[in-house]
Structure 1
Amino acid sequence: MSYLEPVQYPEPRHHGNKGEVNAVFRPATTPPDISSPGGSTHYLATNESTGGEFGLYKVELGAQSAGAKTHFHKAISESFYILSGELELYNGEKWVTGREGDFLYVPVGGLHAFKNVTDEPMSMLMLFSPGAPREEYFERVAEMTRRGGQELKQFRIRHDSYFVEDLEAGAE
């Protein structure tokens, strides 16, 4: 197959004539970075490790896990790839059931939510682009949710997470 139209790639960021030894390997046996009774999160590629290009996380949710309520991001897109089990995904219009191999891309500003309503655990990859320092969010969201109120709202905003429930008229 021949392509007659010119293709556009981003401007080069590496200007050397030789490649570099700079790949990062993370063995599958690496323990999760966060573990709780409701699941675990593996930091596969962080904002810091990718120079801000993207963040990639493996998230494992236990049975009947609440996940995240409807929200959107102003600066980052978010993608979900189901590795195993099932996950209810809100695509901004309706809930769909994601199963192994299913993928949901949410552009910047797109409403989305997710939850595990089954009696089985599930796992997925979550990709944020461009990269953002999501680790603090993952590490502190449970604590901040327990605190609630204005402190939770400010925490969410600090992490580019705008929850519909926070924006509703009369919300605390």
Structure 2
Amino acid sequence: MSYPERLDYPEARYHGDRGEVNAVFRRADRPPDISSPGGSTHYLATHESTGGEFGLYRVELGARSAGARTHFHRAMSESFYILSGELELYDGERWVTGRAGDFLYVPAGGLHAFRNASAEPMSMLMLFSPGAPREEYFERVAEVARRGGEELRRFRVRHDSYFLEDL
């Protein structure tokens, strides 16, 4: 295989001569940042910790967990990588069953939804790019959803989540 002489890499953002010691390590046995009866979320890399480059979360959903209804994001893409179990993923046209090793990429504006319809728990990685401050969304969405109405719609829009039911 031949490669072009000039490759289109992003502009350099680090301009030092020797590199820096700035890596961040997170142990696998660290407890989740959010836990509920329906699952848990681990903040692996947040908007803050990556300088807004991306957000990476490990999400564990219990059996028959609702997930999220059909929505899209205007400012970021969202990706799903299944670690274990099964997850029903809506790709804007149809529902597909994702299993360990399966991946779904949703560009900005792409309709998508997900749910655990199986009788077993599942685990996945969710990647947002560029990184957005999603932690408040994860921490408060259930509480705000219980109240519903205009408050829920405003909360979703504040977090770049445009649900079809709100439009």
- How far, CA to CA, are the matches of 2:123 and 2:20 in structure 1? 33
CA RMSD of aligned residues (A): 0.7
Code of the residue aligned with 2:116 in structure 1: it is N
- How far, CA to CA, are the matches of 1:85 and 1:18 in structure 2? 43
The corresponding residue for 2:65 is: 65
Code of the residue aligned with 1:32 in structure 2: it is P
The corresponding residue for 2:113 is: 113
1:18 aligns with 2:18: yes
- How far, CA to CA, are the matches of 1:83 and 1:48 in structure 2? 25
- How far, CA to CA, are the matches of 2:5 and 2:12 in structure 1? 20
Secondary structure of 1:49's aligned partner: helix
Q: Quote how far apart the aligned CAs of 1:18 are.
A: 0.5
Q: Quote how far apart the aligned CAs of 1:2 are.
A: 4.4
Residue by residue, what CA displacement relative to the aligned partner does 1:76-109 show, whole Å, maximum 9, x if unpaired?
1000000000000000000000000000000000
In the TM superposition, 1:44-83 aligns within 5 A as 44-83=44-83
Residue by residue, what CA displacement relative to the aligned partner does 1:5-48 show, whole Å, maximum 9, x if unpaired?
42111110000110100000000011000000000000000000
Code of the residue aligned with 1:60 in structure 2: it is E
Code of the residue aligned with 2:21 in structure 1: it is V
The corresponding residue for 2:32 is: 32
Residue by residue, what CA displacement relative to the aligned partner does 1:96-134 show, whole Å, maximum 9, x if unpaired?
000000000000000000000001000000000000000
TM value normalised by structure 1: 0.96
Residue by residue, what CA displacement relative to the aligned partner does 1:41-72 show, whole Å, maximum 9, x if unpaired?
00000000000000000000000000000000
Code of the residue aligned with 2:76 in structure 1: it is I
Aligned length: 167
The corresponding residue for 2:43 is: 43
In the TM superposition, 1:3-14 aligns within 5 A as 3-14=3-14
Secondary structure of 2:117's aligned partner: coil
List structure 1 segments (4+ residues) > 3 angstroms apart after TM superposition: none
Secondary structure of 2:49's aligned partner: coil
- How far, CA to CA, are the matches of 2:12 and 2:56 in structure 1? 23
Identity of aligned residues (%): 81
TM value normalised by structure 2: 0.98
